[in-house]
Structures are given as structure tokens and as C-alpha cells.
Structure 1
């Protein structure tokens, strides 16, 4: 059990700009709830936990001078559009203690009910303009053997920041807390979201955009309501460097063999870690679900477009700069029986879309056409517990995947060393996989971790096929 000892409302230390701020169309796409994450810190002899809460509170007040939008509140405008009111109402910092030791939390997986208590609770029954946009909870563990060990649970409003922006903010806050100096070029945000405004008048899209259209349903069904109601569970799958190399070798060997057989020039470049691991997850999911061979299925994921636009966005752009993309529609039999190179090529086809600046611009124009109808393409807000057929759902027979491999999540040193674990703080209501780098702890350096939400009834088989095929 976790007990909240104190709650601090933290506002920027200095006066910051006030008033309504434009949120881009890209900000409108994502669920309006908060993204929960946890950072776990082991006790060490060099731990600097004296006055930790006070130091974190002071540094949070200082970093909010630069990241002042996080101290504001969201509002709804006509047409279900979100806007930001920079009113300096502040963020929340909670101090807590657990009646459990660190060891009792096991692997800190989000299907453990106790883990949910380590993340700040957001009361979504309140009006949206009363909800803080960032909350952090520092929980100390029970027991003298855990002296110095603690966890930081965070909840950050998704319309304010994608994962890259969120991690940049957390790492800058950690730097100040441990007494380091900020690097203006990398630690401070670029805040002007009007840079992503579409042309006026809006151009018609130049490409088809299946990423915003209904995904395949299970054969014989007219909607996905039954799948939406099914429970998901969570698994952590650790791939060591040898596992990753085996998958890459398998995919790229098959690609070369197929190109020779078909008198083609072969793949333009070897398949990446992301492409082959996504392909492997997709194949394992299709096998575990035991769907019909002619069942259509796709994979959807999001890509960072900061460097892909022309001209590119500033690398420190603070907001949502993600482009959703989807693979070509495939049949289950193709995914489960054809070489891994075929499945990896389908992932690559999706990557190529958001790697094309013209495609991304066309996508932005397509999204702009939904002004006043955002709910039709916005990722649903899972906390409301609604089941609807007119909003996206990424579960069976499809799957949504993502990569945290470029995120420096283990740089969040608040003065007690780097975290030994970083992960998602809640269960996802649909099938979702996240691919992240393993912490470089000397045992699995260079490895990859797959955080997997999957339907409870299929998870055992998913894990079986995941390892069986490696």
C-alpha cells in the first residue's frame, strides 16, 4: 500500500508568458489523457537522497520557467479542439511511501496492481481545465535494506508532448536536481507550435492515407466492440544481443536469397533492428491469435518527423511531432508462413511513408480537413471506459507497435544515479508493443526489451511463439 505524505503545487519560479496558446493539429490527434511512466532507482552507497523532495521541488520550479506550458491547463473549444491556457496554475509533486519493499514489486510490470499506486492518479471526473498537465510522485520503499531506493512515477498530458519531448523535459529537470548545468542547445525547448500550422487554404491531400481509415476487422464481424471489451495483460521480453543478431541474420539472409531467386537486386539496405523485431512480434501475434489464414491484418506505428520535414523542425521542438503510419494489408497466412524478410519488408513500407516529406505534408493537410470532427481520428481516451465503433482501435486482428530505442530514458539522474528500470506505468486497452533498449547494466548491454500488452487469452501463446521462433 502506498500512502501520500504530502502534495506540492509547483509553479514557475519567475513570471512566464500568459494567455491562450495554439496547439497544432498534430497535438489534436492523441488521447487527451496522461501518459504514465515509472523510473526505479536502486539504493547505492553514493545515493544523494538528502532533502530529495525539496531539491526536486526547487528544480521543478526552475525548469518550469523554460517549460512553462506544462504549468497551464487545457480547454475544449468548439469542434472538440484542444487549446492551451498558459495560466501558471502549476504542476503537482507528490511525496509518498510504500508499505512494501522494492523486492515485493517484482519486475515493476504494469499488470501488477501495486505498480499503479506508484503513478500519480488523475481524476478525470473533473473538468479538463482543472487537471494538471504534469504530475510526479516520489515513493520511497519500506525496509532498511532498501535505504535510498525509490521510484518516480510521472503522468504527462499527451497533447502537450510526445515521448521525445517528455523525456527531454524529465532529463533537464533531473540535471537541475543533481546540480548540473543545462545545455541551452539541447535541454531547453522550442515552444512555437505554429510552425506546424497547415497551409491556408488547406491543400487537398496528394496521397491516400490508410493510417486514418478503419483497420481490418475479424472476419465475420461488423465492428470491433467485442475485442475492445477483452482484457489485456503485460509481459516483458528481454532480447540479448545474440537474439537480435539472429533475427537480423534470418531476415536479411532470406532477403538475399529471395532477391537471387526472383532475379532482383535485393533489399536496398539490411533490415534494421526495429524492422525485424516488429516483424517478429507481428508474426508471433498472428500465430497466437489462431485466426483464419485469409484474415486481413496490419501493423500501425508512429514515427518522429522532426528531421523528416523540409525544412526540418528544430530538434528540441516541444510538442507532438509524430506521424502515424500503417503497413500494407496482409493475410495471416502470409505473415505466418512467408520468410521473415517478407514481414520486415511490410514494416519497411510503412516506414517509407513518414520518411517522405511530401507524404507527411499531405498527411497534415488530410488531418486539417477534420477540423470540428477530431474524435473521428483521435486516439481514444482509455480512462473513460467507453466502447465506440467510430474511433480508432488497434487490437485484434491488428497491432500497434512503437520504438523507444532513441529515447535517452536512462539519463534521468536526480542525484542518486541512473534508474535501473524505466517502463510504462499502466496497462494499454489494446494490443501494443514497445521496443526499447535494455539498460546497460553490464549484463545485457546492447540488448533490447519488448514491453508487450496483449489480450489475456492469447498472451501465453504469444510468449511461446515469440521464443520458439528465436
Structure 2
């Protein structure tokens, strides 16, 4: 089905939504693991279709009808910000030059917009055309910015951008579900924990030298442009794409990656191996391909139940590097073994404790994951780096504000690093398929589609069923 390449978005209203109850202003320090994140914003968006009732009343929903939905969003946002108050604050620098969170109930910038396009005509496969800076807002101030965009067909897109230094995907997922529950006047399922003491450094601290292989102080990076970490500076040759992978292909890749093994690796490890095998093996002789995997430390630091709902960043990014010639000679099972070995490095409690101690030893100098600055065109060579982050727990079906679950949802994270970024998420169809967000150099996207186009299939309106009625009730 053809899509609309060009459409305009008109901002109808801007306002600031603060927490519904007054909050005493206070400082909330960022943890040592928060300090490993550069100043980048994460985008996420949810698409909702028009309801049967609304279609029966009029061919095109009116702005007044959609305003009712936006009113629900704003009222419930004010309520949930009482609990998730860091999102209503702002990040400022302390006297040491380190970022800290000022919880002052500044509020969240909320943008109400209209787009002269129908949901079925959004080219979601190409978010550079359809989503970036159109439906997903550019955050200018504060920690969180939200945009609700009414579409010509009566559909609605709810999107946001948030400061990654304040929250990781796990934290954001808790917020999205809680926001939706507040909209339905239900008690929230996840009460966040802000206990920074859970990530306090040890006295005395200790870390193995292997941490130096994965993380690096900014002063140790090569001169610009290698150390540019602002999202606005990323190589323009990078493109963003969204694909889907059917459950049978996921199972096939998993089976091949685990063939003849004494234990089966996870589906994420198998997927990462497949991606590494395809992309790395396509590179020229003499070049390398580094592959990293985002590891959530919450299950590893599970000393108390508070880690389940800990709000902040609890991430590590181990990675490994192989030459293009090596990847071409390896089978998928061998590559999967290498991925598992890499992930295992950061899958222990001790690794995260050492990482916390490593940051403490280097403060106040900023640092970041080494792979963030590797690859792309930034090192002047043909080397490539990619990071895979699991969005398998993305709760898209639970983000129901009272008018039904989203017809589609995805993260959108052109993060600005030298490495590419890939994130698989569950499909809203509930059939076991994956939705995969890809941020890669255009040359690697061409390889992906040429070599594995039968696996990475472009998201289309037909696949998502955007021609069918849904459940938004506009009363």
C-alpha cells in the first residue's frame, strides 16, 4: 500500500502539564550508572485507530472530538506525575559539572497537533519521513516532552521524548503503563523506587581492568568528531527503518543458532548473532564489526524487591569485535556462541557492582560505553559497530488510555553515537511476531534488505490492519 511521503503537522496548542498535587522542591542525584549516559533523548510513539462509533457519526473526526481524548491524556498525566515526579523536573549541572535532577515540578511540555494525513498512509517503515520531528517531538526543556497528534482519519498518535540520563526503557515502560492506568481511573501497577542507595559504590571500591575495555572517560576518546555525543551531530548517512519478523523466522534463527549445542541461547542472542553474521560478513577485508548487547542489571542486583521497580538507568553494554573474514568463515551457531560469551561478561551482580565502582573512581569526569563512539564513519575506516537492545518487554498492549490498545507502537532512537542501534519489540498483533526498529548507516540497511529481506520485512499499513476499524470511543 502506498504511503504519504509529505504531510504537514500543525501545532494547535502548547502547554505545560505539572503534577496534580504540589511537590516540595528537592534534588535527586543521578546514580553512577545514570552518569554513563550522554545527553540524548529517547523517542517513543503509539498509534491509535478511529473507532466504529466515530466513523458512523462522521467520515472525518472533528478536532473537538479529538480534543476530548487529549483532555484525558493531560488530566491523567497530571495525576501520574505525582508518582513519577522526576519526569516533571529538569536536569541541571552541579558545582562539579555533573548533571543532577532538580525535582521542582516544572512540568511536562504537552503539544497538541494536527496532521493532514491518515494513519493508513503513514510510511512507518521509514520513520525519517513519517515520525522524526513530526510525530515524535523534539524536547527543548525539562525531562519529558509529549505530543498528541490528531490525524485526518480520526486516529491519534501519542508520542514523547525523554532524557535518557533520567530513565531507561524499563523505567519508561513503567511510566507508560501507569499513565494509561491513571487515564482509566485504575490504581497504578508500578510504584517506582528512587532509592539511589541501591546503586551506591562500595567502600573501598574495586573493579577489574576488563571494565576499561567496555567503558571509557570522554577525555580518552580521539579528537572530534569521534567524541561528539549530541544526537544532533550523528552521521547523516544513518537512516531509521522499522521492520517486522514473523514468528516462524524467529524460531528458525533460534534453532540454527542453537544447533548441536548443549544449551540453547536466548532468542535475543540468536537474533543478535544473525544480525552480526549478516552485517559483519558483508564488510570489506581488513575491516571489523563490533556487536554490543544492552544488559539490564536489575535481575543481577536483585537484593531486594525495590530493584524490580527501580527508576533510572541500570544498564551495561558489553561488546565483542570480529574481523569480517572471521564472520564469513563462521556459521551462525559459532557467532551465537560469541554473542553469549559477550553477554555473559555483564550478566553477573559483580559486574554491575564493579561498574558502579569504576564510575566512582573516574568522577567527576564524564564517561560512556566505549562502543557508543565506535564504528560508523567516525573512526575514518571501514569498521562497523552495532548495539542491540531488547524491547521485548515493551508493554504496547497495556498502553490503553480507555479507547483500546495501540494499533502500533515503537521506540525511535537515532541516538547520535558512532554505533548503530537495533531494538526488537513485540508486535501489537499478538501473534509472536517482532517489530524491529533499526538505526544504521544507509549502506548497512541496503545489505540487510538485500541479504535478509525475506526476514526483515517492511512495516506496512496492510500488515498492521490500518484499513480496519478500531476502538477509540469519541463521546
Alignment TM class, shorter chain as reference:
0.7 to 0.9
> In the aligned structure 2, how far is the partner of 1:468 from the partner of 1:91?
42
SS in 2 for 1:61: helix
Deviation for aligned residue 1:379: 8.9
Q: 1:176 to 1:402 in 2, by over 3 A?
A: same
Which structure 2 residues correspond to residues 149-228 of structure 1 after superposition, within 5 A?
Answer: 149-179=155-185, 181-183=186-188, 186-201=189-204, 203-209=205-211, 210-213=213-216
Contact 1:80 1:374 in 2 (8 A): no
Gaps of 5+ in 1: 124-130, 215-221, 257-265, 382-386
**Cα distance 1:427–1:112, how it changes in 2: closer, same or farther (>3 A)?**
farther
Task: Work out whether residues 437 and 449 of structure 1, in 8 Å CA contact, stay in contact via their aligned partners in 2.
Answer: yes
1:449 equivalent in alignment to 2:435: yes
Secondary structure at the counterpart of residue 167 of structure 1: helix
1:279 aligns with 2:273: yes
Matches of 2:426 and 2:10, distance apart in 1: 32
| Alignment-derived partner of residue 147 in structure 2 | 137
Other-structure match for 1:440: 429
1:102 aligns with 2:105: no
Where 2:354 maps in the other structure, the secondary structure is helix
1:68-94 deviations in Å (ceiling 9; x for gaps):
121111111244311111111111111
Match of 1:55 among 72, 90, 95: 72
Q: CA deviation at 1:29?
A: 1.1
Q: Secondary structure at the residue paired with 2:439?
A: strand
Which residue of 248, 255, 260 corresponds with 1:249?
Answer: 255
TM norm structure 2: 0.81
Kindly report the root-mean-square deviation, in angstroms, between the aligned alpha carbons of the 2 structures: 2.9
Q: Counterpart of 1:261? A: none
1:14 Cα offset (Å): 1.2
Deviations along 1:94-149, one digit per CA (max 9) or x if unpaired, are: 111112222332226322156421122223xxxxxxx221111110011xxx22x1
In the TM superposition, residue 157 of structure 1 has moved relative to its aligned partner by 1.3
**How big is each residue's C-alpha offset from its partner over 1:206-228, in whole Å with a ceiling of 9 and x where there is no partner?**
351221159xxxxxxx9969996
- Quote the Cα distance in structure 1 between the aligned partners of 2:214 and 2:353: 14
Structure 1 residue 6: Cα displacement: 1.0
Partner SS for 1:358: helix
Aligned residue in 1 for 2:332: 340
Off by >6 Å, runs of 4+ in structure 1 = 225-228, 378-381
1:120 to 1:309, Cα distance in 2 relative to 1, 3 A: same
* Pair 1:251–1:376, CA change in 2 (3 A): closer
CA distance in 2, matches of 1:338, 1:388: 27
2:40–2:415 contact (8 Å) kept in structure 1: no
Q: Does 1:356 align with 2:351?
A: no
Kept after mapping to 1: 8 A contact 2:240/2:437: yes
> Could you tell me which residue of structure 1 aligns to residue 402 of structure 2?
415
Does structure 2 conserve the Cα–Cα contact (< 8 Å) formed by 1:41 and 1:419?
yes
Match of 1:231? 237
Kept in 2, the 8 Å contact 1:95–1:139? The answer is yes
Corresponding residue for residue 12 of structure 2: 5
**How far apart are residue 230 of structure 1 and its match?**
5.2
Q: Which residue of 2 aligns with 1:401?
A: 388
**What per-residue deviation string (whole Å, max 9, x for no partner) do you get for residues 411-450 of structure 1?**
1111121111112345344422111122225xxx111222
Q: What SS does structure 2 have at the residue aligned with 1:171?
A: helix
User: Number of residues paired by the alignment?
Assistant: 422
Instruction: Give the unaligned 5+ runs of structure 2.
Output: 1-7, 55-64, 218-223, 457-475
* 8 Å Cα contact 2:124/2:130 also seen in 1: no
Q: How far did residue 346 of structure 1 move?
A: 1.2
Task: Give the C-alpha shift of residue 335 in structure 1.
Answer: 1.8
Give the conservation status (yes or no) of the 8 Å contact 1:109–1:115. no
Q: CA, structure 1 residues 432+21, in 2 after alignment: closer, same or farther (shift >3 Å)?
A: same
Give, in angstroms, the shift of residue 235 of structure 1: 2.6
2: CA distance between counterparts of 1:366 and 1:297?
26
The answer for the alignment partner of 1:116 in structure 2 is: 133
1:19 pairs with 2:26:
yes
Question: CA, structure 1 residues 6+423, in 2 after alignment: closer, same or farther (shift >3 Å)?
Answer: same
- What SS does the corresponding residue of 1:161 show, helix, strand or coil? coil
CA distance in 2, matches of 1:190, 1:206: 29
The answer as to 2:67 corresponding to 1:67 is no
Q: How far apart, CA to CA, are the structure 2 residues paired with 1:418 and 1:274?
A: 25
C-alpha displacement of 1:164:
0.8
* TM-score (normalised: structure 1): 0.82
Moved more, 133-142 or 229-238: 229-238
Matched, 1:325 2:335: no
